[in-house]
């Protein structure tokens, strides 16, 4: 039976505000971590997905951001311990139109209000998210502040937003990536589609820049044993492991912040990719991993006006002419001209704005995509990319015998 939410009506919750650096202030009600004296800043971004708000809340790529959901009703399925993409809620704040009065899902163990309260994250509801999203599309993503404090004026909140650091120039990976080596063996379980791993386990080294759990589950589901290591692991150690047969391939994960500032990982990848083709291990990158690989080969990245965040983003696979509907969450992109100039070959294009969505190196077993083939949430059109990575590792292993 549906359980009444502790946030059954907005009237029972205190006032809350979202202030933007351009001077706009949106008034609504606060939920989640109310009464804690919070006034939290972050880059205000929007996600157009109709489902999967819990996965978005726990996606490390949202670190340092205030997330706006464009779908008008949020919280109807509550929260549960399974639909998480990391160890905690990662967003700085959460902005919605309407908070569901009741939640109903057989796996739910608490309401969204309770979930954010326990996480110490403030949510703001009762906001005209359509007007807010239109402003973000016109002006671009900007800094904002969410609060339920009554001692701060609108003018003070706007000034706080203007003083908050921009996402450009920030390296946030150390805040979300692991600090020591870890193993991963959890698979997709009941959510798996039909996968039949071939005989013999593959060993994948994952550079953790803020990896979503479902990415790792997809690799494990395909017969991979994962060793997850810090993003600044030196190239010399990775090459030693590869030459010793301790790993079969390298995966670079998603993550937050400005890719150009993750200098340690860029330098590691530059060294790993500089060898002769036969010496370069099979390598796969997703989202931030895609951007870091591009920077490592000498391409450039740039900040998008308002980014791509949603689960219905169309992408053209230029190698076969097929269109994929994809899940995306990123605010930076790779400049395709700079990539071609250094020998990279574009393989995928975002059909809404023509931005680069994937590339490969012509003479080395290296490829990557800007979007999320693990699709949590979202469609599974691009899950074949995990199979391509596995095939590349098996091919290289067979050739070495």
| pLDDT tens digits for range 228-251 | 999 999 999 999 999 999 999 999
- Would you tell me which CATH number, out of the four given (3.50.50.60, 3.30.9.10, 1.10.10.10, 3.40.50.880), belongs to the domain 173-400? 3.40.50.880
Using the predicted structure, report yes or no on whether residue 401 has a pLDDT greater than 60: no
pLDDT score, position 191: 72
| Choice among 85, 114, 324, 374 that is catalytic | 374
Within 10 A of 338 (CB to CB), how many other CB atoms are there? 18
pLDDT score, position 7: 41
Using the predicted structure, report yes or no on whether residue 9 has a pLDDT greater than 90: no
Using the predicted structure, report yes or no on whether residue 371 has a pLDDT greater than 80: yes
224 is catalytic: no
pLDDT in tens, 313-335: 999 999 999 999 999 999 999 99
| Choice among 308, 330, 348, 372 that is catalytic | 372
Nearest to 31 by CA among 49, 44, 18: 18
Give 361's strand partners: 344
DSSP secondary structure letters along 329-344? EEEEEE-HHHHHHTTE
3-state secondary structure of 44: strand
pLDDT in tens, 178-192: 999 999 999 987 777
CATH no., domain 3-163: 3.50.30.20
Q: Is the distance from CB of 144 to CB of 160 less than 8 angstroms?
A: no
374 is catalytic: yes
Q: What are the phi and psi torsion angles at 338 (to 5°)?
A: -65, -30
pLDDT in tens, 27-76: 999 999 999 999 999 999 999 999 999 999 999 999 999 999 999 999 99
| Choice among 85, 287, 308, 368 that is catalytic | 287
Q: Is the distance from CB of 55 to CB of 82 less than 8 angstroms?
A: no
Q: What is the mean pLDDT of the chain?
A: 95
- Name residue, tokens 């809404």: 352
Distance CA 240, CA 401 (A): 18
The pLDDT-based confidence of 5 (bands split at 50, 70, 90) is very low
195 is catalytic: no
Domain boundaries, the chain: 3-163, 173-400
Q: Which helix (H) or strand (E) holds 312?
A: strand 301-317
pLDDT score, position 198: 65
Q: Which two tokens stand for residue 72?
A: 């008008």
């Amino acid at each position: 039976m549906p359980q009444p939410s502790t946030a059954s009506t907005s009237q029972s919750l205190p006032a809350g505000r979202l202030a933007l650096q351009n001077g706009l202030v949106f008034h609504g009600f606060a939920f989640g971590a109310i009464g804690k004296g919070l006034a939290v800043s972050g880059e205000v971004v929007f996600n157009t997905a109709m489902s999967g708000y819990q996965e978005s809340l726990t996606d490390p790529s949202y670190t340092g951001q205030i997330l706006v959901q464009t779908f008008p009703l949020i919280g109807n399925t509550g929260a549960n311990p399974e639909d998480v993409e990391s160890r905690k809620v990662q967003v700085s704040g959460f902005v919605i139109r309407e908070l569901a009065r009741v939640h109903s899902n057989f796996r739910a163990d608490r309401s969204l209000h309770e979930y954010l309260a326990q996480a110490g994250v403030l949510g703001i509801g009762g906001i005209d998210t359509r007007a807010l999203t239109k402003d973000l599309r016109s002006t671009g993503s900007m800094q904002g502040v969410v609060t339920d404090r009554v001692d701060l004026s609108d003018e003070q909140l706007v000034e706080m937003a203007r003083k908050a650091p921009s996402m450009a120039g920030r390296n946030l990976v150390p805040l979300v990536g692991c600090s020591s080596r870890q193993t991963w063996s959890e698979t997709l379980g009941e959510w798996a589609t039909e996968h039949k791993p071939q005989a013999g386990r593959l060993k994948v080294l994952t550079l953790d820049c803020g990896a979503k759990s479902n990415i790792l589950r997809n690799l494990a589901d395909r017969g991979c044993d994962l060793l997850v290591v810090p993003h600044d692991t030196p190239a010399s150690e990775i090459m030693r492991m590869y030459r010793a047969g301790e790993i079969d391939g390298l995966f670079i994960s998603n993550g937050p912040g400005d890719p150009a500032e993750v200098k340690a990982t860029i330098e590691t990848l530059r060294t790993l990719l500089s060898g002769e083709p036969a010496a370069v291990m099979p390598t796969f990158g997703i989202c931030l991993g895609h951007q870091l690989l591009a920077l490592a080969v000498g391409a450039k990245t740039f900040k998008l006006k308002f980014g791509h965040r949603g689960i219905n983003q169309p992408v053209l696979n230029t190698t076969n002419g097929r269109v994929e509907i994809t899940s995306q969450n990123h605010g930076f992109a790779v400049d395709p001209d700079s990539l071609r100039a250094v020998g990279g070959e574009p393989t995928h294009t975002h059909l809404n704005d023509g931005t680069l969505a994937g590339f490969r190196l012509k003479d080395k077993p290296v490829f990557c995509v800007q979007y999320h083939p693990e699709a949590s949430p979202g469609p599974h059109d691009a899950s074949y990319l995990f199979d391509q990575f596995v095939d590349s590792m098996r091919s290289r292993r067979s050739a070495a015998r």
